[in-house]
């Protein structure tokens, strides 16, 4: 982002001039016309989709991969888990580098470096080589996870991040099911390694001049220390982040677990469908997720109305309106799926259940992102890194026991166990709605952003407007 400034403000206590953007300055990305903002963020969407494709796409070829290397299906699943684990670790490295060198160079370099490891995965002569290249591929592919929130914050002010964030979350969530569907065409008729080939084809010297804190270039050592420790501090001490981490872990753990469970439920051991037909079953989840951005229009209108009622104040609690509905439909959809997995029931019925699950998944995840960004603002990168770490660790871990759980407990009770887990999380958006203001008030990081009314400090009397009693 170009950080040239055209206006200076005196900073008496330090006798410095703070260089800022003039109001309406077109050098400020937040003042760019809509078409230019669109051009800045649209290219990132297919990259974000490819990250998810890289995870779920391998699942379509797990059986052939196991046969080729003469290993068990449990060991073959490591191909998914190693990639997802790398997605958890990668942002810890990409985030500080992006802060130091800028987002665009890291987007280009990191994503570019991931491509040779796609090739390495396809050409790996043994399991060890495959797992190493798979991990390194995920490590570099994680660049979108590290920079997603920051990219949106660069382009939009806090009250207008909802719509662009909804598209990014669609790519991050929908990519998994869409990738399974698309690459099922390859896995059905081609060797396992062709899945990876298919993925590839797709400045003055004046020390009295300073800039605002959010634009100041940090020392790389300082950035590394902060970005490596703060996410863990947030996870250990911030109730908001702990709630978000629980939901993220559950959502991503289940979505990657379903990659294997679908093969059991709809494949030869269940409804008797082949790989391509199982891929079509993933269109239920993809459809539910794709409905999400359209339904989010209701959420966004509600949020903007609440902001107006609060005279422009920061109102994160207004972000949880639709998530309260999704929190209830989340376990319902899993119970529905679990108890309609009988082979005597038309497979369309559980697929419709997964569509409801997909919408719930999308809506809750979007809430955790937008609520976290609104609450922590300049600290949101660290907060989201904590969520991402837990989310992708769960995404790596759940598939390791998913197939055994479905085979040992049976499809109905295994699915019900996941539904009971989701049921335990139902209160979270209701707690954030009712007590989120108090939780933010107790946080040393979130408290800094609680009294913003159109750029000015609000009086204490503004606090009640920031609670969402709906």
Render pLDDT for 255-276 as a digit per residue (tens, 0 to 9). Answer: 989 888 998 999 988 899 988 8
Render pLDDT for 190-239 as a digit per residue (tens, 0 to 9). Answer: 776 677 777 676 544 444 444 444 444 555 566 666 667 888 889 999 99
Tokens of 215: 């634009």
* Least confident residue range of 85-89, 130-134, 252-256, 431-435: 85-89
The domain limits of the chain are: 35-202+214-466
* Least confident residue range of 259-263, 382-386, 388-392: 382-386
Residue percentage of the chain with pLDDT more than 90: 34
* Model pLDDT, residue 160: 82
* Model pLDDT, residue 219: 58
β-sheet with 209-210: strand ranges across: 7-11, 16-20, 209-210
Residue percentage of the chain with pLDDT more than 70: 82
458 has pLDDT over 60 = no
Q: Is 3.40.50.1370 the CATH number for 35-202+214-466?
A: no
Secondary structure of residue 453 in the 3-state scheme: strand
* Model pLDDT, residue 363: 97
Average pLDDT over residues 36-60: 78
* Model pLDDT, residue 276: 86
Give the Cα separation of 162 and 152 in Å (integer).
Answer: 10
Q: Residue 35 — very low, low, confident or very high, per pLDDT cuts 50/70/90?
A: confident
* Model pLDDT, residue 214: 47
* Model pLDDT, residue 56: 72
Residue of 179, 173, 176, 180 lying closest to 363 (CA atoms): 173
Average pLDDT over residues 103-130: 84
State the DSSP H helix or E strand holding residue 311, giving kind and residue range, or none if neither. Answer: none
* Model pLDDT, residue 457: 38
72 has pLDDT over 70 = yes
Render pLDDT for 154-166 as a digit per residue (tens, 0 to 9). Answer: 788 778 888 888 8
Q: Residue 244 — very low, low, confident or very high, per pLDDT cuts 50/70/90?
A: very high
Neighbours of 125 (CB within 10 A): 8
Q: Is the dihedral of CA 213, 217, 218, 223 positive or negative?
A: positive
* Model pLDDT, residue 122: 81
Render pLDDT for 307-317 as a digit per residue (tens, 0 to 9). Answer: 999 888 889 99
Q: DSSP characters for 344-388? A: TS-THHHHHHHHHHHHHHHHHHHHHHHHHHHHHGGGHHHHHHHHH
28 has pLDDT over 80 = no
* Model pLDDT, residue 225: 67
Render pLDDT for 435-456 as a digit per residue (tens, 0 to 9). Answer: 999 999 999 988 887 754 333 3
For residues 43 and 297, the model is more confident at 297
Q: Residue 420 — very low, low, confident or very high, per pLDDT cuts 50/70/90?
A: very high
Q: Evaluate whether 378 touches 52 at the Cβ level (below 8 Å).
A: no
CA distances, 286 to each of 56, 175, 178, 356 (Å): 13, 8, 6, 10
Residue of 172, 233, 163 lying closest to 376 (CA atoms): 233
95 has pLDDT over 50 = yes
* Model pLDDT, residue 13: 46
* Model pLDDT, residue 290: 93
Instruction: Tell me the pLDDT of the chain averaged across its residues.
Output: 81
């Amino acid at each position: 982002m170009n950080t040239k400034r055209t206006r200076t403000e005196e900073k008496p206590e330090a006798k410095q001039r703070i260089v800022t953007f003039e109001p309406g300055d077109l050098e400020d990305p937040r003042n760019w016309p809509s078409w230019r903002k669109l051009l800045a963020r649209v290219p990132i969407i297919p990259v974000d989709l490819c990250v998810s494709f890289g995870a779920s796409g391998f699942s379509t070829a797990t059986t052939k991969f196991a046969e080729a290397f003469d290993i068990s299906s449990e060991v073959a699943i490591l191909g998914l888990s190693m990639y997802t684990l790398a997605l958890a670790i990668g942002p810890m490295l990409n985030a500080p580098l992006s802060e130091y060198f800028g987002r665009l160079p890291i987007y280009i370099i990191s994503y570019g470096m991931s491509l040779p490891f796609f090739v390495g995965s396809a050409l790996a002569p043994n399991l060890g080589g495959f797992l190493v290249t798979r991990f390194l591929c995920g490590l570099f592919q994680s660049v979108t996870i590290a920079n997603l929130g920051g990219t949106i914050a660069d382009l939009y002010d806090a009250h207008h991040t909802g719509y662009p964030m909804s598209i990014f979350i669609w790519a991050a969530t929908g990519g998994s099911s869409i990738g399974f569907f698309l690459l099922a065409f390859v896995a059905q008729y081609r060797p396992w390694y062709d899945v990876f080939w298919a993925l590839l084809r797709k400045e003055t010297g004046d020390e009295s001049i300073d800039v605002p804190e959010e634009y100041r270039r940090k020392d790389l050592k300082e950035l590394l220390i902060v970005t490596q420790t703060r996410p863990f501090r947030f996870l250990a001490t911030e109730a908001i982040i702990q709630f978000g981490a629980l939901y993220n872990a559950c959502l991503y753990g289940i979505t990657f677990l379903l990659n294997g469970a679908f093969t059991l439920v709809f494949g030869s051991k269940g409804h008797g469908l082949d790989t391509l037909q199982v891929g079509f079953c993933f269109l239920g989840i993809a459809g539910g997720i794709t409905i999400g951005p359209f339904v989010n229009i209701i959420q966004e209108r509600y949020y903007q109305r609440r902001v107006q009622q609060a005279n422009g104040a920061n109102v994160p609690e207004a972000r949880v309106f639709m998530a309260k509905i999704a929190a209830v439909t989340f376990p319902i959809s899993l119970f529905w799926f679990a108890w309609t997995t009988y082979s005597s029931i038309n497979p369309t019925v559980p697929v419709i259940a997964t569509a409801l699950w997909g919408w719930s998944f999308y809506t809750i995840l979007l809430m955790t992102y937008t609520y976290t960004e609104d609450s922590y603002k300049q600290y949101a990168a660290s907060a989201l890194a904590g969520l991402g770490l837990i989310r992708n660790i769960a995404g790596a871990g759940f598939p390791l026991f998913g197939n055994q759980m479905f085979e040992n407990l049976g499809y109905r009770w295994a699915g019900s166990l996941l539904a009971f887990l989701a049921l335990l999380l139902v209160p979270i958006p209701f707690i954030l709605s009712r007590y989120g203001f108090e939780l933010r008030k107790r946080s040393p990081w979130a408290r800094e952003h609680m009294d913003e009314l159109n750029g000015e400090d609000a009086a204490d009397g503004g606090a009640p407007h920031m609670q969402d009693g709906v």
